[in-house]
Amino acid sequence: MGLAACGSGSGSAKDASGSAASTFTVWDPYPQFDGSSDWGKLVAKCGTEAGVTVKRTGYDTTDLTNKAILAAQQGDSPDVLVVDNPVVSTLAEAGILTTTETLGLDTSGYEKNILAAGQSGGKTYGVPIGANTLALYYNKAVLQAAGVDPAGITDWTSLTAALAKVTATGKKGITFSAIGTEEGSFQFLPWFWGSGAQLTDLDSSQGVAALTLWKDWLDKGYAPNSVINNTQTTSWQEFATGDYAFGENGTWQLSNVEKSGLDWGVISIPAQAGGQAPAPTGGEFVTVPTQKDTSGNAAAKKVVECLTSADNAYTTDTTLSYIGATSAVQQKQAATTPALQPWVTAVQAAKGRTSDDLGTKYPKISQEMWKGVQSALSGSQSPQAAMEAAQKAAAAAQ
């Protein structure tokens, strides 16, 4: 994997004279960014300021998790590891990550709902770079033609009524991703949580109501059957055709919507009874893997602080289409780019998937949840039966 040689971690290596070796490694889930990118330059600069030479490697998210676990087993972890927030609790519970308390990292300035995704068992295991989440993009022309004011969409009833008006004009209602993967769970969660349901009780009346909402939309033609196989990318491609009133998607589509030629806007996903539904947080945490030789931790701390400092986080969040993890960065983003204000609002109400101390239970629950969603939307089970089966399987898997 191209790691710098070391005794137990690349940053804690000793050279022939016994002094700490200067080269240490940073792994991240951004293979799309090379050394000439803003992110690549920032990582190198943070290393220089910490007195080390960084060897950075970007991996796809799933590949990165597997490699991090394998490296820990081999005693060859990177010095700094940037990982997707649901992975933090998995690595922490495996004993792979160092707590922020041990490192002396100050996390007091971070928004609690964002920081919660990096916490497990009452301890914090990383610092968030930023966050993304979900909201509803809307096509102004489609809504205007149907006589729908997006400001009047405040709950499930008003949203469904808007979808009925849109489809009556010959246009299409809403598209989203319900694929049988984590993407499907990610997109279902705002409706699930917005009903008041809890992940520990998938077959509650609230959870069944959320799945019934989606199923009814398909049955009435308000959402296409393609959502069953849609990824968030293919769902976005449907919205970008200009035929749909709404598309559930994230901040990462901002550059695409600006290039689309659509006259668009964004509203928060409504909760069943009104108000804003909590959407799940996406985004990464900067963590420090545990090492047998901890002499590199001081430099690792400096690199983490540099990568997540307010000024650098603003630049990084702009590059990654993230909303800041601190109120200071969020305010700067909204002031500089007014189009980000709805996303700042959405992130402030968002919730970590592993929050509520679910930790490593979450992936097991999520897998059964997306299976239940698939089963109901395909018509093989009723929403009630699908969620009952999901709850039973999730409980057995924990």
With cut-offs at 50, 70 and 90, classify the pLDDT of residue 61: confident
Tokens of 344: 């700042």
Please say whether the beta carbons of 288 and 81 come within 8 A: yes
Q: What is the pLDDT of residue 44?
A: 96
Selection from 296, 309, 288, 316 nearest residue 51 by Cα: 296
Is residue 353 domain-resident? Answer: no
Number of structural domains found in the chain:
2
Q: Is the pLDDT of residue 9 over 60?
A: no
Do 83 and 192 belong to one domain? no
Is residue 148 domain-resident? Answer: yes
Q: Is the pLDDT of residue 364 over 70?
A: yes
Do 142 and 257 belong to one domain? yes
Better-predicted residue by pLDDT, 1 or 395: 395
Selection from 304, 288, 283, 289 nearest residue 352 by Cα: 283
pTM for the full predicted model: 0.87
Is residue 2 domain-resident? Answer: no
CA angle, residues 350, 355, 360, in degrees to nearest 5: 135
Is residue 150 domain-resident? Answer: yes
Q: Which residues have C-beta within 8 Å of that of residue 185, sequence separation ≥ 6?
A: 353, 366, 367, 369, 370, 373
Do 121 and 260 belong to one domain? no
Q: What is the pLDDT of residue 22?
A: 58
Do 123 and 141 belong to one domain? no
Do 315 and 383 belong to one domain? no
Tokens of 360: 């490593």
Give the sheet arrangement for strand 23-28, strand by strand: 53-58, 23-28, 80-84, 284-287, 127-128
Do 17 and 109 belong to one domain? yes
Q: Is the pLDDT of residue 289 over 80?
A: yes
Q: What is the pLDDT of residue 3?
A: 28
Is residue 1 domain-resident? Answer: no
Is residue 354 domain-resident? Answer: no
Give the whole-angstrom CA distance, residue 192 versus residue 213. Answer: 10
> Above pLDDT 90, what percent of the chain?
88
Q: Is the pLDDT of residue 34 over 90?
A: yes
Do 101 and 247 belong to one domain? no
With cut-offs at 50, 70 and 90, classify the pLDDT of residue 1: very low
Do 68 and 31 belong to one domain? yes
- Show the domain range for 58: 10-131+282-348
Give the whole-angstrom CA distance, residue 270 versus residue 312. Answer: 33
The helix (run of H) or strand (run of E) holding residue 92 is helix 85-93
Do 236 and 163 belong to one domain? yes
Is residue 4 domain-resident? Answer: no
Q: Is the pLDDT of residue 18 over 60?
A: no
Do 208 and 127 belong to one domain? no
- CATH number of domain containing 71: 3.40.190.10
Quick: pLDDT tens for 107-149.
999 999 999 999 998 999 999 999 999 999 999 999 999 999 9
With cut-offs at 50, 70 and 90, classify the pLDDT of residue 320: confident
Better-predicted residue by pLDDT, 19 or 169: 169
> CA–CA distance from 27 to each of 3, 79, 132, 207 (Å)?
10, 8, 20, 38
Q: What is the pLDDT of residue 62?
A: 82
Quick: pLDDT tens for 178-225.
999 999 999 999 999 999 999 999 999 999 999 999 999 999 999 999
Q: What is the pLDDT of residue 16?
A: 32
Tokens of 359: 């930790």
Q: Which residues have C-beta within 8 Å of that of residue 131, sequence separation ≥ 6?
A: 85, 114, 281, 282, 283, 322, 323, 325, 347, 350
Q: Is the pLDDT of residue 389 over 80?
A: yes
Please say whether the beta carbons of 98 and 43 come within 8 A: no
Do 309 and 226 belong to one domain? no
Quick: pLDDT tens for 303-315.
999 999 999 999 9
What is the DSSP track for 250-281?
Answer: EGGGHHHHHHS---EEEEPPBPTTSSBPPPBP
Is residue 268 domain-resident? Answer: yes
Quick: pLDDT tens for 221-249.
999 999 999 999 999 999 999 999 999 99
Do 331 and 365 belong to one domain? no
